């Protein structure tokens, strides 16, 4: 196993390194929590690693609060998300998802960008971002930024829309003025309380007006399909309904729609049967 | 004695706590010797296959590769408990751990590259992974190295035990419960991965081996046999051991392989596992299928137990194949039972071979018995706690297997946990809704004063007091984190009346320390403690003789107090002064040696006999909450009571209780080494669900002090007991919460959900 490690300090250095590496095998690395395990297995011999860990680039490292949303740099760690008070108030779902990642030590180094770029259906923070309909902001080696909805970012297990000359820059999460309250949760089903990979995960956020009517809803499913699905039709069937008095037929319709997005597999962690059962049970529990 | 004890019974931080927590402890992989090479093993790619060819040319050509060995390059003997295990395999491989080639290189990176460059051609064969399949007549012989003395070619070991009139007692039973229980592969998960460093000196044919073995003297003999050396030319040095739990009771092939690499290269060689290799190549707890039939009369008195156990031995045989020795005690003697018939068979398969693991068969046996008791109580309409108390063991009991309970805290332990947990009240609560609580109880019996299995169950000790009043204890026993060094120092401090800071424990060098059978069977505080007490008595007698001389006292009683010897008339002399007088005036050093052999007896040919110095008992009640939506079981509260004889170090004991229960909860709920067609599917902590600190429940510990005269200050062995009843109590609690049957472990969320679904069908 041999690899080069390049640690750009500035944006210009980063862009120039990306340019130089075109056509040769290279990877970005930030927190090292996933990638190190991967290269220990794959034993690459001619790989370059562009280490983003020493980049002095505030846009990639900070959480910026704006009126209509939050912008989170791709190098922001899970611990930063957990500790940020304003983020916790406006996006309790993301805070909880970040808090469910691994352990305190790993959260200290694991980045939001790394979680997204790993493109695992079990990515906890990724699942929350899908429910929140985040927008992905991507920087190319020419210095241009392009944006795309998170739904278009994931192409499959470990596959994203990133081109060879691009790096994940930041994540934009649109938020609305809160009139009523936010009902949200990140439900992670696993065996241990920490150091766990989701067997099934459910991320949801309902934004209610002052009388309890659902203004906006988002729901995403982890570990039940190759790509984390946003359960759009399920969300649609709740639109305009009052969260506190949803009738049985609607609940059933909602459950049916959610389950349409699940196509779980059986693996060493759980069977498809179990994933289906649990997803159905925890979806029902949203309204309990 | 009670009022007089000054050190024993007081909480004492472990002697090595600072060293360990400051990162200064030297573990196996921290050892660096001049010119040391890095050794590694190429294991088979397939569980069962013919080896058609091995090509090491490319690896040999790699700069930095010093030595490569295959079975053809070495002159060695078969290894293992049954001598059925070649160190390096040729011709065929029999399980996924099999070692084919070993390499020593100048760096870990070159080693990894060299192992990748070795080419082995296989012809894949069908494996036999089910013990019942292996027992069929038409099945081929799995292990080619055995002599065929057993009744079936694929049986590695079989045990039969019985007492009482089984048929009569069956007839007298009002209730009979038959169940089949299935237990999984689990493994030790030592935090320190396996590492050994061999330093063979070609010049004089001596070997120094830095090995984390639990049994240095048996290991020395085994290794000598394996690599054809004289045992006394092998010096075993034990570094700080990062966890044993039974995993280091056998010598495994990596150890002689490391020695052979050092012999051939003429340089020291270190061989260290990474975590994946640790999961693939470490021994496991015996997976078992237990067919158990138990009966009780109409009053709820137990009548009989009849059990048939099929153990997966794996491809080779370890000490773990003797776990039936321990299991038969539990079936014959945990609670009073008039008749017992026990049969256990260890069956060869092409699975990874199992070994010994804290509890040594007892968690499996206890799980089956305690489940059946709940089922019998239910059938009789009797409460589960009442039935247990009615049948509890008692002081003075001589069991069917001839175990003699000179002290017995079984009833007290049961009563304590029943009372403290409000068991009766909680047990009767009917639960509904998403989250349902339940409570379960289980108890256990385990050897508490060593176990006479090997020819000697003893331990030697030498103590020396220096000119400055510091005591060095040279003990044959081994520290594997259980806290024996601290307990030994406490005993010496108690006896000699000197401060703990003035005591050193030397226990890591086989050339220095006297013989000991090893650290296992919860025996160290008992056997090494008694051995130390024997040596201390001699040492104290020497000091008393000198003190009488120096102080001019006659027969008046003398006492060891605060670093001095004091007479009842008020004369005082410092111990260090006595030692100097002995040394410089009397030309004698102040030292003493003692060898202690426990009073236990060997079992007779029918496995009957009082094989331990005393017996430990424990009981647990465990409350759980089950999420019926996900099947997750949350352990809420544990009440644990254990007859420890006497509490020696409350802090160390607490550590043993917490550690044992953590392993027990893992065994009950989450841990399983998933092995399918001979391959390990989850060789990592991502998917092998060992619990973390966050998963630990509140534990209330209620010690029972039965003051057994055989043990140091009345103590009994404590190490294994805490984990033994845990899985059984949790299974009983989950069953209580949901009214479902549990016959296998681990009780995973998926299994719980399936059971709930079947119930509602």
Task: Note the pLDDT tens digit of each residue in A104-145.
Answer: 999 999 999 999 999 999 999 999 999 999 999 999 999 999
pLDDT computed for residue B3 by the predictor: 56
Evaluate if residue B426 carries a pLDDT over 90.
Answer: yes
Residues 683-722 of B with CB under 8 A from A: 685-687, 689, 691-692, 694-695
* Residue of A55, A221, A209, A205 lying closest to A154 (CA atoms): A221
Q: Could you tell me if B326 and B720 are in contact, meaning their C-beta atoms sit under 8 angstroms apart?
A: no
Choose between A35 and B631: higher pLDDT: B631
A197 touches chain B (CB under 8 A): yes
- Nearest CB to A193: which of B631, B687, B694? B694
DSSP string, B705-719: ----TTSGGG----S
DSSP labels, B66-101: EEEEEGGG-----BTTTT-B-SS--SEE-STT-EEE
Element containing residue A3 per DSSP (H, E)? strand A3-6
Secondary structure letter of residue B512 according to DSSP = T
| Partner-chain contact A277 B434, CB within 8 Å | no
Out of A191, A194, A277, whose CB is closest to B753? A277
Tell me which chain B residue has its CA closest to the CA of residue A288. Answer: B434
Which of B114, B697, B749 best probes binding to A when mutated, by most A CB atoms within 10 angstroms?
B749
- Touching check for A45 and chain B: CB below 8 Å? no
What is the phi/psi pair of residue B137, to 5°?
Answer: -55, -40
Pull the structure tokens for residue A56. 């002095």
Round to whole Å and give the CA distance between B621 and B628. 22
Counting residues of chain B whose pLDDT is more than 90, the rounded percentage is: 97
CA nearest to B97, candidates B28, B190, B194: B194
What are the residues facing B439 on neighbouring strands? B623
Q: Tell me, what's the pLDDT at B24?
A: 95
Cβ contact, residue pair B674, A268, below 8 Å: yes
The residue-averaged pLDDT of B508-518 equals 98
For residue B648, which of B478, B492, B520, B498 has the smallest C-alpha distance?
Answer: B492
A270 touching chain B per CB within 8 A: yes
Residues of A in contact with B112 (CB under 8 A): 1, 43
Contacts A274 to B, Cβ<8 Å = 631, 749-750, 753
- Predicted TM-score (pTM) of the model is 0.97
Give me the helix-helix angle, A248-260 and A272-284, nearest 10°. Answer: 150
Instruction: Give the Cα separation of B695 and B685 in Å (integer).
Output: 15
| pLDDT tens, residue by residue, A76-92 | 999 999 999 999 999 99
Alpha-carbon gap, residue B634 to B596, rounded angstroms? 45
Q: Which of B629, B669, B692 sits opposite A282 (nearest CB)?
A: B629
Strands B92-93 and B49-55: antiparallel
Say if A36 is an interface residue toward chain B (CB within 8 Å).
no
> pLDDT value at position B4?
84
pLDDT of residue A137: 98
> Taking CB atoms and an 8 Å limit, are A197 and B686 in contact across chains?
yes
**Smallest CA–CA separation between A223 and chain B, in Å?**
15
B327: left (phi over 0), alpha (psi -120 to 50) or beta: alpha
- Report CB contact under 8 Å: B692, A288: no
Calpha distance A77→A108 (Å, rounded): 6
Nearest to B44 by CA among B355, B352, B356: B352
Ramachandran angles phi, psi of B626, nearest 5°: -105, 130
- pLDDT given at position A178: 76
Name the band, by pLDDT with cuts 50, 70 and 90, for residue B151: confident
Q: How far is B750 from chain A (nearest CA, A)?
A: 6
Interface contacts A/B by beta carbons within 8 Å = 60
Contact across the interface for A192 and B670, Cβ inside 8 Å: yes
CB contact under 8 A, A285 and B629: yes
Residue B504's CB is within 10 A of a number of other CB atoms, namely: 16
Other residues' Cβ atoms within 10 Å of the Cβ of residue A143: 10
Residue whose tokens read 């589960």: B384
Name which of A269, A284, A288 is nearest B687 (Cβ-Cβ).
Answer: A269
Q: Quickly state the pLDDT bin for B1 (edges 50, 70, 90).
A: very low
Q: Which residues of A touch B685 (CB under 8 A)?
A: 195
Q: Do A274 and B757 touch (CB under 8 A)?
A: no
- CB < 8 Å to B689, chain A: 191-192
A contacts of B632 (beta carbons < 8 Å): 189, 191
Distance CA(B35)–CA(B232), nearest Å, equals 25
CB distance from A1 to chain B under 8 Å?
yes
Residue B261, H or E segment: helix B254-265
CB contact under 8 A, A189 and B750: no
Is the pLDDT score of B453 beyond 90? no
Interface with B, mutate which of A40, A45, A190, A191 (most B CBs under 10 A) = A191
User: Average pLDDT, stretch B281-290?
Assistant: 96
Q: Which member of B681, B692, B750 has the closest CB to residue A195?
A: B692
Which residue of chain A is at minimal alpha-carbon distance from B628?
A281
Q: Which chain A residue has the Cα nearest residue B750?
A: A274
Nearest CB neighbour to A192, from listed B434, B630, B695? B695
What mean pLDDT do residues B334-362 have? 97
**Cβ A194–B631 below 8 Å, yes or no?**
no
pLDDT of the residue at A42: 86
Asked if B722 and B642 touch (Cβ cutoff 8 Å), the reply is: yes
Q: Where are the beta strands (DSSP E) in B194-277?
A: 195-201, 206-211, 234-237, 269-272
- A43–B753 CB contact, under 8 Å: no
What gap in Å lies between CA A115 and CA B704, rounded to an integer?
A: 51
Which residues make Cβ contacts (< 8 Å) with residue B554, sequence separation at least 6?
B548
Alpha-carbon distance A285 to nearest alpha carbon in chain B (angstroms) = 9
Q: Over 90: is that where the pLDDT of A2 sits?
A: no
| Assigned token pair, B275 | 């975590």
Q: Which long-range CB contacts under 8 A does A91-94 form with residues at least 24 apart?
A: A91/A128, A91/A132, A91/A173, A91/A175, A92/A182, A92/A184, A93/A128, A93/A131, A93/A132, A93/A184, A93/A185, A93/A186, A93/A203, A93/A204, A93/A205, A94/A125, A94/A128, A94/A129, A94/A132, A94/A173
Tokens coding B620: 């647990």
Q: Å from B159 to nearest chain A CA?
A: 35
Q: Which residue from B112, B630, B692 is facing A1, i.e. has the nearest CB? A: B112
> B444 CA to chain A: closest CA distance, Å?
27
Q: For residue B648, what is the DSSP state?
A: S
Q: How far is CA B312 from CA B8, B129, B152, in A?
A: 43, 9, 14
Task: For chain B, say whether A278 makes contact (Cβ under 8 Å).
Answer: yes
How far the first Cα of chain A sits from its last, in Å, is 52
B673 close to B185: Cβ distance less than 8 angstroms: yes
Cβ–Cβ gap B687/A270 under 8 Å: no
B112 to chain A, any CB pair closer than 8 A? The answer is: yes
Half-sphere exposure of residue B599, counting CA atoms within 13 Å on the CB side? 9
SS3 A60: helix
Residues in B closer than 8 angstroms to A195, CB to CB, are 685-686, 692
Pairing of strands B288-296, A26-29: unpaired
Tell which of B683, B684, B750, B752 to mutate to test the A interface (max A CBs under 10 Å).
B750
Q: Tell which B residues from 396 to 455 touch A, by Cβ distance under 8 Å.
A: 434
Q: How far apart are CA B314 and CA B678, in angstroms?
A: 9
**Given this model, what pLDDT does residue A177 score?**
82
Average pLDDT, chain B: 96
Q: Given pLDDT bands bounded at 50, 70 and 90, which one contains residue B148?
A: low
């Amino acid at each position: 196993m041999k690899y080069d490690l390049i640690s750009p300090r500035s944006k210009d250095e980063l862009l120039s390194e990306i340019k130089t590496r075109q056509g040769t095998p290279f990877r970005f690395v930030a927190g090292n929590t996933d990638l190190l395990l991967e290269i220990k297995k794959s034993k690459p011999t001619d790989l370059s690693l562009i280490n983003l860990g020493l980049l002095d680039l505030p846009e990639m490292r900070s959480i910026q609060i704006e009126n209509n949303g939050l912008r989170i740099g791709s190098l922001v760690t899970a611990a930063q998300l957990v500790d940020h008070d304003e983020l916790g108030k406006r996006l309790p779902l993301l805070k909880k998802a970040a808090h469910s990642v691994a352990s305190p030590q790993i959260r200290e180094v694991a980045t939001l960008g790394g979680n997204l770029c790993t493109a695992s259906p079990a990515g906890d923070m990724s699942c929350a971002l899908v429910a929140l309909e985040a927008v992905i902001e991507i920087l190319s080696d020419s210095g241009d930024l392009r944006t795309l909805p998170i739904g278009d970012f994931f192409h499959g297990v470990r596959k994203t829309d990133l081109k060879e000359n691009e790096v994940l820059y930041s994540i934009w999460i649109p938020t609305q003025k809160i009139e009523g309250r936010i009902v949200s949760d990140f439900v992670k089903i696993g065996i241990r309380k920490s150091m766990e990979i989701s067997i099934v995960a459910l991320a949801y956020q309902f934004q209610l007006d002052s009388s309890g009517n659902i203004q906006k809803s988002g729901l995403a499913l982890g570990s039940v399909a190759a790509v984390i699905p946003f359960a759009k039709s399920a969300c649609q069937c709740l639109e305009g309904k009052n969260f506190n008095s949803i009738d049985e037929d609607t609940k059933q319709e909602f459950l049916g729609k959610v389950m349409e997005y699940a196509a779980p597999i059986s693996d060493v962690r759980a069977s498809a049967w179990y994933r289906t059962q649990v997803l159905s049970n925890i979806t029902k529990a949203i309204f309990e | 004695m009670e009022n007089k004890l000054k050190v024993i019974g007081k909480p004492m931080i472990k002697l090595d706590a600072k060293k360990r927590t400051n990162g200064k402890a030297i573990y196996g992989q921290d050892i660096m010797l001049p010119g040391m090479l890095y050794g590694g093993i190429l294991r088979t790619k397939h569980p069962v296959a013919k080896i058609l060819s091995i090509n090491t040319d490319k690896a040999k050509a790699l700069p930095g590769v010093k030595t490569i060995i295959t079975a053809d390059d070495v002159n060695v003997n078969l290894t293992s408990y049954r001598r059925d295990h070649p160190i390096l395999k040729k011709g065929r491989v029999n399980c996924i751990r099999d070692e084919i080639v070993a390499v020593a290189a100048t760096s870990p990176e070159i080693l990894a590259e060299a192992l990748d460059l070795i080419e082995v051609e296989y012809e894949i064969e069908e494996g036999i992974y089910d013990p019942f399949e292996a027992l069929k007549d038409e099945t081929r012989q799995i292990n080619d190295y055995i002599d065929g003395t057993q009744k079936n070619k694929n049986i590695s070991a079989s045990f039969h035990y019985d007492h009482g009139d089984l048929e009569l007692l069956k007839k007298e039973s009002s209730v009979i419960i038959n169940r089949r229980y299935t237990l999984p592969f689990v493994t030790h998960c030592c935090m320190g991965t396996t590492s050994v460093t061999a330093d063979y000196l070609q010049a004089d044919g001596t070997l120094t081996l830095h090995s984390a073995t639990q049994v240095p003297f048996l290991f020395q003999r085994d290794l000598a046999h394996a690599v054809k050396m004289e045992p006394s030319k092998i010096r075993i040095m034990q570094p700080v051991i990062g966890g044993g739990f039974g995993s280091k009771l056998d010598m495994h092939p990596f150890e002689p392989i490391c020695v052979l690499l050092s012999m051939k290269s003429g340089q020291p060689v270190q061989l260290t596992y990474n975590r994946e290799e640790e999961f693939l190549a470490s021994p496991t707890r015996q997976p078992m299928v237990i067919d158990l039939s138990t009966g009780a009369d109409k009053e709820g008195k137990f009548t009989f137990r009849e059990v048939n156990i099929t153990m997966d031995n794996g491809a080779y045989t370890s000490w773990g194949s003797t776990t039936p020795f321990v299991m038969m005690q539990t079936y014959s003697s945990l609670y009073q039972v008039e008749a017992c018939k026990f049969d256990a068979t260890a069956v060869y398969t092409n699975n990874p071979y199992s070994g010994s693991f804290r509890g040594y068969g007892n968690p499996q046996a206890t799980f089956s018995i305690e489940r059946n008791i709940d089922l019998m109580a239910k059938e009789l309409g009797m409460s589960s706690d009442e039935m247990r108390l009615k049948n509890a063991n008692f002081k003075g009991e001589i069991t069917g297997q001839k175990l003699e309970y000179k002290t017995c805290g079984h009833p007290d332990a049961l009563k304590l946990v029943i009372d403290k947990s409000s068991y009766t009240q909680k047990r009767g609560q009917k639960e509904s809704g998403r989250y349902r609580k339940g409570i379960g109880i289980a108890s256990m019996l385990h050897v508490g004063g060593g176990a006479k299995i090997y020819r000697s169950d003893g331990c030697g000790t030498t103590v020396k007091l220096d000119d400055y009043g510091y005591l060095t204890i040279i003990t044959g026993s081994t520290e594997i984190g259980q806290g024996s060094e601290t307990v030994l120092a406490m005993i010496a401090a108690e006896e000699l009346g000197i401060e703990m800071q003035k005591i050193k424990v030397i226990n890591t060098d086989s050339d220095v320390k006297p013989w000991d059978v090893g650290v296992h069977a919860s025996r160290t505080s008992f056997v090494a403690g008694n051995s130390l007490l024997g040596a201390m008595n001699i040492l104290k007698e020497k000091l008393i003789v000198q003190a009488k001389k120096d102080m001019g006292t006659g027969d008046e009683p003398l006492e060891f107090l605060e670093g001095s010897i004091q007479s009842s008339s008020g004369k005082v002399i410092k111990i260090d002064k006595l030692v100097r007088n002995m040394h410089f005036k009397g030309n004698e050093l102040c030292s003493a040696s003692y060898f202690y052999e426990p009073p236990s007896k060997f079992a007779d040919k029918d496995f009957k006999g009082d094989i331990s110095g005393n017996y430990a008992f424990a009981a647990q009640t465990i409350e759980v909450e089950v999420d019926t939506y996900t099947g997750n079981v949350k352990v809420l509260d544990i009440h644990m009571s254990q007859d420890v004889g006497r509490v020696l170090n409350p802090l160390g004991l607490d550590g043993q209780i917490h550690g044992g229960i953590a392993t027990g909860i893992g065994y009950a709920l989450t841990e399983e080494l998933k092995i399918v067609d001979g391959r390990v599917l989850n060789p990592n902590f991502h998917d092998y669900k060992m619990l973390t600190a966050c998963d630990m429940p509140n534990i209330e510990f209620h010690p029972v002090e039965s003051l057994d005269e055989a043990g140091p200050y009345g103590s009994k062995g404590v190490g294994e007991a805490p984990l033994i009843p845990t899985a059984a109590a949790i299974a009983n609690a989950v069953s209580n919460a949901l009214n479902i049957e549990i016959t296998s472990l681990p009780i995973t969320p998926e299994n719980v959900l399936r059971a709930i679904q079947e119930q509602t069908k």
